[in-house]
Amino acid sequence: MLEGSGFQLVVIGSLALSVASSVSIVICNKALISSLGFPFATTLTSWHLMVTFCTLHAAQCLHFFEPNSVDGKTVVVFGLLNGTSIGFLNLSLGFNSIGFYQMTKLAIIPFTVLLETIFLKKKFSRSIKLSLLVLLIGVGIASITDLKLNLLGSILSLLAIATTCVGQIMTSTIQKRLKVSSTQLLYQSSPYQAAILFLTGPFVDQLLTKRSVFAYSYSLVVLGFIILSCLIAVSVNFSTFLVIGTTSPVTYQVLGHLKTCLVLSFGYILLHDPFTVRNIIGILIAIFGMALYSYSCVREAKKKSANDVLPVLQMADKENAPLLATKSLGHHQDNDGNETKKADGVPAAARTSLS
C-alpha cells in the first residue's frame, strides 16, 4: 500500500514539475525571442540539452544517482531521434502557419494511440478515446487560428509527428523494459540530442530567420535570459522523461495541451496577449476533456487493480482448502473405529495378515 501511495506521489510530483517548468520556460523564451530579439530556437535547445547533461554529470559524480548501462546503439538511435524530432518541429513551425503547426501538435496524440495499438498491442477504452477527442477539439478551438497548407510544410509536419511519436514511445518503452530510470536515460541520451542540434541548429535557425546566431550581438540581459532558460530546461527535460516513464506518452501529450491552455491564460494575464471568447470556450472544453481523461484513467487503473487481486485471492483459497485426498490416502479406520496408518498404500491390518 505504501509503495502504491509513493508511486502516486511520484506521478503527481512529476506532472506538477512538468507543468510548472514548461510554463516557466515558455514565458522565459517568449521574452527572449519576442522582446529581446533572439530568434534562434533550435540552437537554444541544443544549449538546453548541453546544460542538462552537464548538470546530470555533476549529480552523478556527487552520487545523487547511479548510472545504468544501456545498449549503446539503442541510446544513440534514441538520442538522435529525439534531437531530430525537435528540429523537425521547429522547421514545421517555420514553414507552416501557426494554425497548421498547432494541428501538427494535436495530431501527435492520435498517431501515438495508433502506433501503440498496432505495434505494442496496447488497448485504449472507448471512454479514453472519447476524452481525448473532447480534449483535441477544445485545444483546437482555443489555439488554431488559420490553416494554410503547403507541400514542404506538410512533409515537415508529418516527419515531426512521426519522429516525436516514436521518440516518446521509445522513452516509455526503454524505461519500463530495460528498468532504466528517467534520470539515467536522460543522462545517457542528452549528449547525442545536444550534438545533433548543436551541429544543425545554426543552419536550421539561419534557414528560418535569415540571421546567423554567430553574428548576433549578445547583451548582458540576453545572456541572463539564456542562462535562466537553460537552467529551467534542466527541470523541463528531467520532468519530461519522468512523466513519460511513470505514465505514458499519451498522458504526456495530454499534459502538454494543459500547458498550452495555461500558456494562453498566462499570456493574457501577464503579457496582455489578445484573448477572445473562442479562446475561453476552447480552454473550458479542453479542461473538461482532460478531467474526463483523468477520470477514465483512474477508473481503469482501479478496475485493473481489482482484476489483479482476484486471482491472488482465489489462489489463497486453494492453498487453505483441506487436502481430503491426502488424508484419505494416509489414514484408514478399521471396523472398531480405530485409525490405522498405511505404508506404501497397504493398510496395517493387511500387512499383519500377510506376515
> Taking the C-alpha atoms of 198, 259, 30 and 246 in order, what is their torsion angle to the nearest 10 degrees?
-30
Stretch 134-147: mean pLDDT: 85
Least trusted range by pLDDT, from 21-30, 41-50, 329-338: 329-338
**Quick check: helix, strand or coil at residue 272?**
coil
Give the three cell numbers for residue 22: 514548461
Residue 343 has pLDDT above 50, yes or no: no
Residue 348 has pLDDT above 90, yes or no: no
Return phi, psi of residue 340, to 5°: -125, 150
Average predicted confidence (pLDDT) for the chain: 83
Q: Contact 156/92 with Cβ under 8 angstroms? A: yes
The reported pTM is 0.78
pLDDT for position 4 = 61
pLDDT for position 1 = 41
Q: Look-up: residue for cell 471568447? A: 277
pLDDT band at 330 (very low <50, low <70, confident <90, very high): very low
pLDDT for position 345 = 44
**Type of residue found at 121:** K
Q: Look at the chain and count its residues.
A: 355
Residue 322 has pLDDT above 70, yes or no: no
Give the C-alpha separation, 219 to 215, whole Å: 13
Stretch 141-169: mean pLDDT: 88
Stretch 267-282: mean pLDDT: 78
Least trusted range by pLDDT, from 75-79, 165-169, 173-177, 301-305: 301-305
Residue 245 has pLDDT above 70, yes or no: yes
Stretch 209-221: mean pLDDT: 94
Torsion over CA: 103, 108, 113, 119 (sign): positive
Helices (H), 219-276: 220-246, 249-270
- CA-based angle 248:26:142, to the nearest 5? 75
160-200 tens-digit pLDDT: 999 999 999 999 999 988 889 999 999 999 999 999 999 99
Residue 312 has pLDDT above 60, yes or no: no
pLDDT for position 88 = 94
3-18 tens-digit pLDDT: 566 778 888 888 899 8
97-134 tens-digit pLDDT: 877 888 898 999 999 999 999 999 998 999 999 999 99
- CA-based angle 285:300:281, to the nearest 5? 0
pLDDT for position 103 = 86
